[in-house]
Amino acid sequence: MNMDAFSLKNKIAWVTGGSYGIGFAIAEALASAGATIVFNDIRQELVEKGLAAYAEKGIAARGYVCDVTDENAVQALVAKVQKEVGVIDILVNNAGIIKRIPMTEMSAEDFRKVVDVDLNAPFICAKAVIPAMIEKGHGKIINICSMMSELGRETVSAYAAAKGGLKMLTRNICSEYGEYNIQCNGIGPGYIETPQTAPLRERQPDGSRHPFDQFIVAKTPAARWGTTDDLQGPAVFLASDASNFVNGHVLYVDGGILAYIGKQP
């Protein structure tokens, strides 16, 4: 096998919301495979935080302020990147939000906001990069989906609806643009150790695990939370020529949760 198929040398990768967390980890992996990294975030202070973190890793990333729900702003950003860096070869739709509110207590405004960031924005960003990918004759789009693309759970109606829609957007981009040698796939993370999930993993005053931590570990055949490192290999694979005949697929990186019904009580 030619391992050069996994190389991203001379490729330009745009990671939305790539200042920290999962987006940063994926961008770091793409950079290690040779890609030039472009990222955006919604506020200047987040972009500056990201630039500092990339610099600490020795990665010469380009950072931009952009609201990915604003179609005009996204089109302007893509044009600017093409002028300053080059044509985007790889798009990682990572930016996302969640609002944990019971459905009957959730306002339609909050529901729309989650769908806007988690579903409309990937549509807007993909729409912005696809024409140049068609012209170039190749492109990779990776949508960060979720186990909630397959499962429901209390308090996440908007998130699950958006991520389920993102799974189908992934398949439709494949269906519509696969003939142009564009591959659109998804990564569905399981429960990942990030600063945002840290409170759910804190030890209780008596030394026991947080109840949610116990629940996740019991539901995961791997018997642990995932790490952002667990997402790096799948991201490089889906961004590289090694996955050129993989299209419309969601790769769940969940330690086996979706395969497991759980232990009998």
Distance, CA of 66 to CA of 39 (rounded, Å): 9
pTM: 0.96
Task: In whole angstroms, give the CA distance from residue 138 to residue 87.
Answer: 11
Amino acid at 14: W
Residue 238 has a pLDDT of: 98
For residue 171, the surrounding DSSP H or E stretch is helix 157-177
Distance CA 92, CA 39 (A): 9
Which pLDDT belongs to residue 123? Answer: 99
Retrieve residue 104's tokens: 């009957």
Provide the annotated active-site residues.
Answer: 159
What is the rounded CA–CA span in Å between residue 131 and residue 122? 15
Among the listed residues 117, 99, 124, 197, the one whose alpha carbon sits nearest the alpha carbon of residue 162: 117
Phi-psi region of 255 (alpha: psi -120 to 50; beta: other; left: phi over 0): left
> According to the model, what pLDDT value does residue 1 have?
77
pLDDT at 234: 98
CA distance between the termini of the chain: 46
At residue 200, the pLDDT reads 85
- CA–CA dist 22, 2 (Å, integer): 28
The four Cα atoms 241, 254, 151, 111 give a dihedral, to 10 degrees, of -80
Amino acid 6: pLDDT: 98
Q: What is the pLDDT of residue 265?
A: 72
CA distances from residue 109 to 51, 105, 121 in whole angstroms, order as listed: 33, 12, 16
pLDDT at 11: 98
Tens of each residue's pLDDT in the chain, 265 residues: 788 999 999 999 999 999 999 999 999 999 999 999 999 999 999 999 999 999 999 999 999 999 999 999 999 999 999 999 999 999 999 999 999 999 999 999 999 999 999 999 999 999 999 999 999 999 999 999 999 999 999 999 999 999 999 999 999 999 999 999 999 999 999 999 988 788 889 999 998 999 999 999 999 999 999 999 999 999 999 999 999 999 999 999 999 999 999 887 7
